[in-house]
Amino acid sequence: MPRTLEGQITMEKTPSYFVTKEAPARISSMSKGTKLIVVVRDPVTRAISDYTQTLSKKPDIPTFESLTFKNRTTGLIDTSWSAIQIGIYAKHLENWLLHFPIGQILFVSGERLIRDPAGELGRVQDFLGLKRIITDKHFYFNKTKGFPCLKKAEGSSKPHCLGKTKGRTHPDIDQDVVQRLRDFYRPFNMKFYQMTGQDFGWD
């Protein structure tokens, strides 16, 4: 990665950082002033999306329902399954707060990013101390994908939408399983809302 010059901001994106136990200490030892941006979404939807992505690569994996439970009869959720574990945001955040103050972390709502991309990116620009340049006029909604797209990517005359791996149709999941997952995540979500001072409205 090239050196950051004065007046520049270097950004690096690795989704697994937030859930990797060693990441906060490593990043803090590199630069205590690092600002962190975490995009979060409803953990139930996130788990189904995670499963959908794996299913597209390995069509012979067990059903979502069978992977969700250690014991379906008792309703015991298998928290060792990464698709479930990643959505326990409060647990991961506790680890980050040992190394960074909450004011250095911005939590972006994945749902609002789809509904109001300019609004959420306005928050990002403010957090980074940047002038608000990205506005509504930079986006249009792609009905096929179900996501907003950039009207014109920098250095290109064509619009830019998310890649093929985004916006896949999710498989139908037993609604009883979805409800059990909602019940499972609820206390973790409430704790996460308290920790971040934001109600993400997942329920």
Residue 13, annotated ligand binder? no
Residue 182, annotated ligand binder? no
Residues in the chain: 203
Contact indicator for 159, 150 with CB cutoff of 8 Å: yes
Residue 46, annotated ligand binder? no
The long-range contacts involving 115-124, CB below 8 angstroms and separated by at least 24 positions, are: 117/148, 124/37
Residue 170, annotated ligand binder? yes
156 is written with which tokens? Answer: 């290109």
Residue 138, annotated ligand binder? no
Residue 166, annotated ligand binder? yes
Residue 163, annotated ligand binder? no
Write b or e for each residue in 83-111: b if 16 or more Cβ atoms lie within 10 A of its Cβ, otherwise e. Answer: bbbbbbbbebbebbeebbeeeebbbbbbb
Binding residues: 41, 49, 166-170
Binding residues for 3'-phosphoadenylyl sulfate: 41, 49, 166-170
